Amino acid sequence: MKRSSSWSNGHTSYPSLRADRPPYLVLFALCLLALLCEACAPTSPIPSQFEAFERIPIHTVTVHEQRIAYLDVGTGPPVILIHGFGGSMWQWEHQQHALAEHFRVLTLDLPGSGLSDKPDIEYRPDQMLGFLVEFMDALEISRATLVGNSMGAGLAIAMTLEHPARVSKLVLIGGLPQQIMQKLTSPSIRRALETRAPAWLISLGNRLFGGLMTESVLREIVHDPALLTQAVVERANRNRRRPGLIGPLLAAQQALPLWESGFALRIGTVTHPTLVIWGEEDRVFPIAVGEELHRTISGSRFVRIPQAGHLPQWERPGLVNRSLIEYIQHQ
């Protein structure tokens, strides 16, 4: 085939969209060009997950004069799902239907988090425990299986130690160990827990750069970045922008020594049936931390979740839900 000389011929002229052409011809030409470009563009990849938008009624109950938001689905033996530091009920979104087929599932936003009130308190472990006890009392739940993720697991441990008659079984997902700061491997969460900046400065940084920080944290706690869709990131940012969030986070950070000097020292005395679930790719607390926690609690069971980080119940809900249902139903 003879190569055309028009590519290098500086005198070759091409049709142009002149200003004196009728406007509709210009518009037609632009539309034709856009269609040609779209036709030549590479095919976009098909996502591995379909993001369904679901509406679950949100309930509220007053506990210690504070409004607590929670979900309440299903019937049967009660199971309470407890989120971790800086989290909210959305971390349990993939457990709602699966567990509700077998249990009454209650998922709360702890005080200082999500949609619940954010009182000006110290957020000490004993205070958070008091809220959980009163939450169960307000809903007339005398006894329940507690499922906690990360710091929520610490609250579940505290409840088991202080009010053993209120706990049927205990499930710990990704937490909570002794010597948190020595075992923590997430740079973003470490910075959050070690900061000494004043609240006003953190609030300003959250307003200006919070989006970048939120995405950074999500990439450390979630193993598969493909799951961090725009909708997921936007939801996390909405939660971050809720008024009054910074104070409780700083207070919880300052209360960590009370965990270490109190409930953490008693983890080995837990006698309740306990299931420990850990993501194999956890970059907050590596799986070796979960194995140590499993050895500390006599008689506990340990389940490793492959290809999952610090939120295995969110990343690999099929595997986690199956483990939860089998364990809770087992007599």
Here the CATH number for the domain that contains residue 171 is 3.40.50.1820
Evaluate whether residue 139 is within a structural domain.
yes
Cα–Cα dist 304/287, whole Å: 8
SS (H, E, C) 47-62: CCCCCCCCCCCCEEEE
Using one digit for the tens of pLDDT, what is the confidence trace for 34-65?
Answer: 545 444 545 556 656 655 557 899 999 999 99
Cα–Cα dist 101/6, whole Å: 70
Evaluate if residue 19 carries a pLDDT over 90.
Answer: no
Q: In whole numbers, what is the pLDDT of the chain averaged over residues?
A: 86
Number of domains making up the chain: 1
Evaluate whether residue 39 is within a structural domain.
no
Evaluate whether residue 5 is within a structural domain.
no
Evaluate whether residue 310 is within a structural domain.
yes
237 — pLDDT class (breaks 50, 70, 90):
confident
The structure's pTM equals: 0.83
Compute the average pLDDT of residues 11-19: 43
Using one digit for the tens of pLDDT, what is the confidence trace for 278-315?
Answer: 999 999 999 999 999 999 999 999 999 999 999 999 99
Q: What is the pLDDT of residue 247?
A: 87
∠ CA 242-180-63, nearest 5°, is 40
Evaluate whether residue 30 is within a structural domain.
no
Cα–Cα dist 140/136, whole Å: 6
SS (H, E, C) 70-112: EEEECCCCEEEEECCCCCCHHHHHHHHHHHHCCCEEEEECCCC
User: Are 116 and 68 spatial neighbours (Cβ–Cβ below 8 Å)?
Assistant: yes
Evaluate whether residue 79 is within a structural domain.
yes
Q: What is the pLDDT of residue 2?
A: 39
DSSP code at position 8: T
Evaluate whether residue 17 is within a structural domain.
no
Q: Decide which of 135 and 191 is more confident.
A: 135
Using one digit for the tens of pLDDT, what is the confidence trace for 305-319?
Answer: 999 999 999 999 999
Tokens 């199956």, located at residue:
322
Evaluate whether residue 185 is within a structural domain.
yes
Can you read off the two tokens belonging to residue 175? 């937490």
Cα–Cα dist 243/251, whole Å: 15
Share of the chain above pLDDT 90, in %: 66
Q: What is the pLDDT of residue 210?
A: 61
User: Are 174 and 279 spatial neighbours (Cβ–Cβ below 8 Å)?
Assistant: yes
Nearest to 78 by CA among 106, 97, 107: 106
Compute the average pLDDT of residues 195-224: 78
Q: What is the pLDDT of residue 312?
A: 98
Give me the torsion for CA of 63, 116, 103, 218, rounded to 10°: -150
**Neighbouring residues of 222: CB distance < 8 A, sequence distance ≥ 6:** 228, 309, 310, 311, 314, 315
Q: Containing H/E element for 148?
A: strand 144-149
Domain around 188: 59-329
Cα–Cα dist 236/90, whole Å: 9
Q: What is the pLDDT of residue 22?
A: 57
User: Helix, strand, or coil here: 309?
Assistant: coil
Using one digit for the tens of pLDDT, what is the confidence trace for 89-118?
Answer: 999 999 999 999 999 999 999 999 999 999
192: alpha, beta or left, given left = phi > 0 and alpha = psi -120 to 50?
Answer: alpha
Q: Decide which of 12 and 215 is more confident.
A: 215
Nearest to 90 by CA among 107, 67, 103, 112: 107
Evaluate if residue 87 carries a pLDDT over 70.
Answer: yes
**Neighbouring residues of 228: CB distance < 8 A, sequence distance ≥ 6:** 215, 218, 219, 222
SS (H, E, C) 238-260: HHHCCCCCHHHHHHHHHCHHHHH
